Structure 1
Amino acid sequence: MYQFTPDEIDLTRADYQAKQQGAKDVQKKRVGNLGEIAFEQFCREYIPAEMWEWENEEAIRRCNPESFSGHDFEVFGFKVDVKTSRDVSAFLPKTLVENDSDDDIIVMAWHRDNEDSLILLGWEHMAVLKSKVRTSEQYSGEEPEKLQHLAAQPMNSLQDLGPNMAYMNQKPKNPFRPGDRVKRADDEEASEAVVVEVLPPETKVKLYGQKVDGEVVRVAFPSSLAEGPGDWEGISPALLSSYCDDQDIKLYTYKPENLEFVE
Structure 2
Amino acid sequence: MYQFTPDEIDRVRADYQAKQQGAEDVGSKRVGNLGEIAFEQFCREYLPTEMWEWENEDAIRRCNPESFSGHDFEVFGYEVDVKTSRDVSAFLPETLVENDSDDDIIVMAWHRDAEDSLILLGWEHVAVLESKVRTQENFSGQEPAKLQHLASQPMNSLQDLGPNTANMNQTPDNPFSPGDRVQRKGDDDASEAIVVEVLPPETQIELYGQEIDGEAVRVAFPSSLDEGPGDWRDIDSALLSSYCDDQKIKLYTYKHGNLSYSKK
Determine if the TM-score, normalized by the shorter chain, exceeds 0.5.
yes
Counterpart amino acid of residue 19 in structure 2: K
Deviation per residue, 1:112-140 (Å, 9 max, x gap) = 11111111101011111111111122236
- Please say which of residues 185-194 and 228-237 is displaced more in the overlay: 185-194
Q: Which residue of 2 aligns with 1:252?
A: 252
Q: How does 1:136-155 map to 2 (within 5 A)?
A: 136-139=136-139, 141-155=141-155
TM-superposed CA distance for 1:214, in Å, is 4.0
- Partners of 1:200 and 1:132 in 2: how far apart? 38
- Partners of 1:258 and 1:142 in 2: how far apart? 67
- Partners of 2:194 and 2:159 in 1: how far apart? 37
Q: Which residue of 2 aligns with 1:51?
A: 51
- Partners of 2:258 and 2:63 in 1: how far apart? 27
Q: Is the 8 Å Cα contact of residues 214 and 256 (structure 2) preserved in structure 1?
A: no
Q: Which residue of 2 aligns with 1:160?
A: 160
Q: How does 1:235-250 map to 2 (within 5 A)?
A: 235-250=235-250
Q: Secondary structure at the match of 2:147?
A: coil
- Partners of 1:209 and 1:15 in 2: how far apart? 37
Counterpart amino acid of residue 252 in structure 1: Y
Q: Which residue of 1 aligns with 2:20?
A: 20
Q: Is the 8 Å Cα contact of residues 49 and 201 (structure 1) preserved in structure 2?
A: no
- Aligned-pair Cα RMSD in Å: 1.2
- Structure 2 residue runs of 5 or longer lacking an equivalent are none
TM-superposed CA distance for 1:24, in Å, is 0.4
- Partners of 1:104 and 1:91 in 2: how far apart? 16
TM-superposed CA distance for 1:225, in Å, is 0.4
- Partners of 2:174 and 2:45 in 1: how far apart? 14
* 1:191 pairs with 2:157: no
Could you say if the C-alpha distance between residues 65 and 142 of structure 1 is closer, same or farther in structure 2, counting changes exceeding 3 Å? farther
Q: Secondary structure at the match of 2:146?
A: coil
Deviation per residue, 1:62-116 (Å, 9 max, x gap) = 0011121100000111000000001111000011111100100000000111111
Q: Which residue of 2 aligns with 1:35?
A: 35
Instruction: Give the alignment's TM-score, normalised by structure 2.
Output: 0.96
Runs of 4+ in 1 over 4 A off after TM superposition: none
- Partners of 1:128 and 1:21 in 2: how far apart? 32
- Partners of 2:103 and 2:214 in 1: how far apart? 30
* 1:10 pairs with 2:13: no
Q: Is the 8 Å Cα contact of residues 31 and 115 (structure 1) preserved in structure 2?
A: yes
- Partners of 1:203 and 1:69 in 2: how far apart? 21
* 1:173 pairs with 2:186: no
Q: Is the 8 Å Cα contact of residues 205 and 211 (structure 1) preserved in structure 2?
A: yes
Could you say if the C-alpha distance between residues 126 and 258 of structure 1 is closer, same or farther in structure 2, counting changes exceeding 3 Å? same
Counterpart amino acid of residue 260 in structure 2: E
Q: Secondary structure at the match of 1:173?
A: coil
Q: Is the 8 Å Cα contact of residues 46 and 165 (structure 2) preserved in structure 1?
A: no
* 1:202 pairs with 2:202: yes
Q: Which residue of 1 aligns with 2:221?
A: 221
| Equivalent residues, number | 263
Q: Is the 8 Å Cα contact of residues 48 and 167 (structure 1) preserved in structure 2?
A: no
Q: Secondary structure at the match of 2:187?
A: coil
- Structure 1 residue runs of 5 or longer lacking an equivalent are none
